[in-house]
Chains A and B, each alone.
Chain A
Amino acid sequence: MLVQDVMTKRVVTVSPAATLQEAYEIMQSGHIRHLPVVEEDRLAGVITDRDLRLATSLLAPAPFAPQARVGDVMNRTVLTSDALDPVEDAARTMREHKIGCLPVLEEGRLAGIVTGIDLLDALLKLTGVTAPSGRLELRLPDRPGELARLTGLVSERNVNIHSLLTYPEERECVRTVLRVNTIETRPLASALREAGFDVVWPPDKPCPA
């Protein structure tokens, strides 16, 4: 998944000559929090709703007036992303610098913007339900061939895997979550247990008394 797959392509921008009042109104009406500042087709900075609130706060040592210029308040050193960067690179940059957006540049021109919300959408896409499916969760030994054995057994039952998510766990295990196109997830889980897999979900049901 690349930045270009999750970014917003039609970017709302503002000029450095605009007033803080105008920037505020653009954000309010567009329900957005980040405005790239563009001057003569070139990215000059970024101004966020937080910048506006801090700059104009009565608590600030010298609060800016609503008529002050965006260019006086914006961040000039802007971290950017490339449309072909993987989303995890964008996520790491934003996390490390604790920032909410990255303007995306293509040959020096603004081509899009990726925000924390876009990354949440990416997470939902990775973990979400895209087709009617049941969920299986397993603990696989962290060694070659385990996933192949698992998917082989699933395929033998003519069951399709819609999505597959794995992440490392303690004790040299890999937690693996599959979404499979069958309502018979329980019988599938039983078959996998019989084949020696550690199936975390669905668990065995308490037996009728």
Chain B
Amino acid sequence: MPRVIYSQAYKAYDFGEDHPFSPARHDMLLDLLSELGHSPVLTEPQPATREEILTVHEEPYVQRVESLSRGEPVADAQNFGLCTADNPCFPGMDLAARWLVGGALEGARMITEGEEQKVLQLGGGLHHAQPGRASGFCIYSDLGVTIRRLTSQGFYVAYLDIDVHHGDGVQKIFYADEKVLTISFHESGRYLFPGTGDVHELGSGAGRGLKLNVPLEPYTEGASYLETFDQLVPNALEWFKPQILVVQAGADAHFEDPLADLMLTTRTYEALYRRILDYADRFAAGKVLFTLGGGYSPRAVPRVWAILTLLLHGWPLPEKLPPSWVDRWSARLSLNLPDLLHDPEASFDPIPRAEEISRRNRQVCDRLLEATSRYWF
């Protein structure tokens, strides 16, 4: 039985009422799973230690997070990406961020010690955090610390990032690392935060050819997304032969997401998760650690991550959502939540440039394969 890691302490990672990276997203998801009669067994982790954080993050940065966490003023906080619009400071943020790192570490431990093959960390996925800087809602890199632990134990790790934003923090930490393959699918940085993730970012030194980026056109739809995914991911994994797959399962490529411009539906996500689980079995000896990530539409996110949790356990996908759940959360959020698990077939008006978008995405994927082939073979 796959395991799900979660602690009530995760709720402390909260940037405030109006901030999109809200812990309410977990509450909605767990409540939905419970109403569906499929509450996963939750495992409580420990927060990561300061020493574990320092395997990836720089001491001066960690010191500032700690000071701000205690409510002390830090004059140069903004130079470290802290106390900005995206990463406001709050009391206890050091420990709150360490809890999320601890969850991912616990997931990796379960897998490497043979307790479980497939684990979902119900939180985290803080892929923008940099060694010396907070960025894009991310304070400490749960992914970075965990992957570093895995490589120090000798594992070859494939990191797959389906968040709509480029996984820049993780890429940066492992840019020259030959034991880590990173693959990020995202909306092109030409338009979207954080601006990086172009095809030509291929890694450096021994890591050259191991950092793969697929920058997709704004308004890319599911079919084109899956086409590029199929073109790249199985080939890359088959070649790299990872011993474990780490997946950042951000849900913000959904068409209703308020922060980005891709047009995936819940049906695309179902197809995507089925592929990832299949690839884990075929190319990573069945070992996969999922984290959550971005995802800011309360109408979409609980459904997308419920699909992930249900598929992970091999549980059936319901057609309808429990009316009591829909009513309760609709009232609480003053929103009209959908009744069905899946988006309707025609969820949005046809995209005028759809053909052109698909053509450009194919071209980007071709260019990436051309650029990497001389490192792979």
Chain A residues close to B by CB (< 8 Å): 129, 132-135, 157-160, 179, 181-187, 201-202, 205-209
CB pair B86–A184 under 8 Å, yes or no, is yes
CB pair B193–A202 under 8 Å, yes or no, is no
User: Nearest-CB distance from A35 to chain B (Å)?
Assistant: 29
CB pair A183–B191 under 8 Å, yes or no, is no
Distance, CA A186 to CA B130, complexed state (A): 23
Known: A183-B165, A206-B348, A209-B346. A129 touches B189 (CB 8 A): yes
Identify the closest chain A residue to B136 (Cβ): A183
CB pair A135–B348 under 8 Å, yes or no, is no
B85 CB within 8 Å of chain A: yes
Distance, CA A209 to CA B299, complexed state (A): 14
CB pair A208–B192 under 8 Å, yes or no, is no
From 31 to 80 in chain B, residues with beta carbon under 8 angstroms from any chain A beta carbon are 78
- Please tell me the size bucket of the interface on B: 20 to 34
Among the listed stretches B93-101, B151-159, B256-264, B324-332, which one makes contact with chain A, having 4 or more residues with CB under 8 Å of it? B256-264
B349 CB within 8 Å of chain A: yes
CB pair B193–A185 under 8 Å, yes or no, is yes
Q: Ordered nearest first, which 3 A-B pairs have the shortest CB separation? A: A132-B194, A129-B195, A134-B193
Chain B residues close to A by CB (< 8 Å): 20, 78, 81, 84-86, 128, 130, 135-137, 165, 168, 189-196, 218, 255-256, 258-261, 344, 346-349, 351
CB pair B258–A182 under 8 Å, yes or no, is no
Contact residues in A for B192 (Cβ distance below 8 Å): 134-135, 185, 202
Residue of B130, B195, B256, B351 near A135 (CB, 8 A) is B195
Contact residues in B for A202 (Cβ distance below 8 Å): 191-192, 218, 261
Residue of B135, B260, B346 near A132 (CB, 8 A) is B135
Would you give 12 A-B contacts (Cβ < 8 Å), ordered by A?
A129-B196, A132-B135, A132-B136, A135-B190, A183-B137, A183-B193, A183-B259, A186-B260, A202-B191, A202-B218, A202-B261, A209-B347
Distance, CA A209 to CA B351, complexed state (A): 13
CB pair B86–A181 under 8 Å, yes or no, is yes
CB pair A181–B348 under 8 Å, yes or no, is no
Contact residues in B for A158 (Cβ distance below 8 Å): 84-85
